[in-house]
Amino acid sequence: MSSLLRIDRYFGHKAQPLRNVPVLTPSIIVVTAGVKFLQWQGEAIAFNRHNWLLAAENQPLTFINEPSQDKFQSIQISFKSLPSEALLKQLSAAAIEQSDLLNPPSLAVNDSLNFALSQLITMAELSLSAAAQQCYLDGFYQQLFEAGALSQLFAHRQLSLRQKLSRYLAIDPASNHSIENTCGRFAMSQATFMRHLSKEGTSFREVLAEVRMLNAISVMQTVNARNEQPLTQLELAFRCGYQSESRFSQRFKTQFGISLKQYAQTITC
């Protein structure tokens, strides 16, 4: 059963300075231990247990994860489905009066929001139909709407090609994806495919690299959480679709501003 949510958990035992972390799907980031300091319009916004980070698509994040008592922990909930048409209409009507995208991406949480989020996380662990999942999602989206925060996640009424592409590539980041085969998957000519991505300010190669770099962090976090033997850089490169260890490590540092070795040191005790 395909899930309409993706849940990722991140840990750290040392400060994690990361820049230009792509957000491929509208997400909420919940810090459960330590503090995340987000750079936003020249300021640093602190996120902890009392506020959520609302991360819209195509807004790269630069931040430092600071552990508290040698521990940082966060959960990222990525939404693969839009709100219902009725809720989107309400959202469009409200957006006429105010652009919430100009507000800081922070939402103070209360018991109602925490309860709704816990229901979503539990739902993600069950094998529910897409229709049943959407009901839970729309309930959560309604809570966000009433809190005045939904428009910061969903500024558009339909999924962008970038979102659709990133979802497709994320199914198997290590696969030998080519633009020719991918265009066929989306029933577009290569010229049309490239033109649409260009209008969205990106390219096939850029989205593929971003998906693979995010996968690298996910794999490293998963291996560490399971107390497995750390992967070598070459093994990690293969898992992310790279045949060259040097190209892979160079791309990782270019993307995040931190080397693979430095990042690995932040997640191990």
Give mean pLDDT, residues 91-115.
77
List the domain boundaries for the chain: 1-158, 160-269
Which of 1.20.1300.10, 2.60.120.810, 3.40.50.10470, 3.40.50.1000 is the CATH number of 1-158?
2.60.120.810
For residue 84, what pLDDT is reported? Answer: 87
More confident residue, 158 or 27: 27
Global pTM reads 0.92
Q: What are the backbone dihedrals phi and psi of residue 157, each rounded to the nearest 5 degrees, phi first? A: -90, 0
The partner residues of 33 in beta bridges, in order of sequence, read 73
For residue 1, what pLDDT is reported? Answer: 56
> DSSP for 154-208?
--SSS--HHHHHHHHHHT-TTS---HHHHHHHTT--HHHHHHHHHHTT--HHHHH
Please give the span between the terminal C-alpha atoms of the chain, in angstroms, as a whole number.
Answer: 36
Measured CA to CA in angstroms, residue 210 lies from 34, 97, 242, 261 at distances of: 26, 35, 13, 19
pLDDT digits (tens, 9 = 90+) for 61-93: 999 999 999 999 999 999 988 898 888 888 777
Instruction: Please provide the average confidence, as pLDDT, over all residues in the chain.
Output: 91
The domain over range 160-269 is classified in CATH as 1.10.10.60: yes
Task: Quickly count: other Cβ atoms within 10 Å of residue 205's Cβ.
Answer: 11
Coil, strand or helix at 248: helix
Decide if pLDDT at 95 tops 70. Answer: no
Decide if pLDDT at 102 tops 80. Answer: no
Measured CA to CA in angstroms, residue 26 lies from 4, 54, 126, 188, 266 at distances of: 12, 8, 21, 25, 26
pLDDT digits (tens, 9 = 90+) for 3-39: 899 999 999 999 999 999 999 889 999 999 999 999 9
Q: Do you know the residue count of the chain?
A: 269
Give mean pLDDT, residues 243-257.
96
Phi-psi region of 201 (alpha: psi -120 to 50; beta: other; left: phi over 0): left
For residue 58, what pLDDT is reported? Answer: 77
Angle, CA 217 vertex, CA 262 and CA 129 arms, to 5°: 165
CA distance 269 to 265: 8
Coil, strand or helix at 58: coil
Decide if pLDDT at 156 tops 60. Answer: yes
The partner residues of 107 in beta bridges, in order of sequence, read 52
pLDDT digits (tens, 9 = 90+) for 188-247: 999 999 999 999 999 999 999 999 999 999 999 999 999 899 999 999 999 999 999 999
Decide if pLDDT at 96 tops 80. Answer: no
* 170 CB-side CA count, 13 A: 20
CA distance 105 to 204: 28
For residue 268, what pLDDT is reported? Answer: 84
List, edge to edge, every strand of the sheet that includes 106-108: 5-12, 72-79, 27-33, 51-55, 106-108
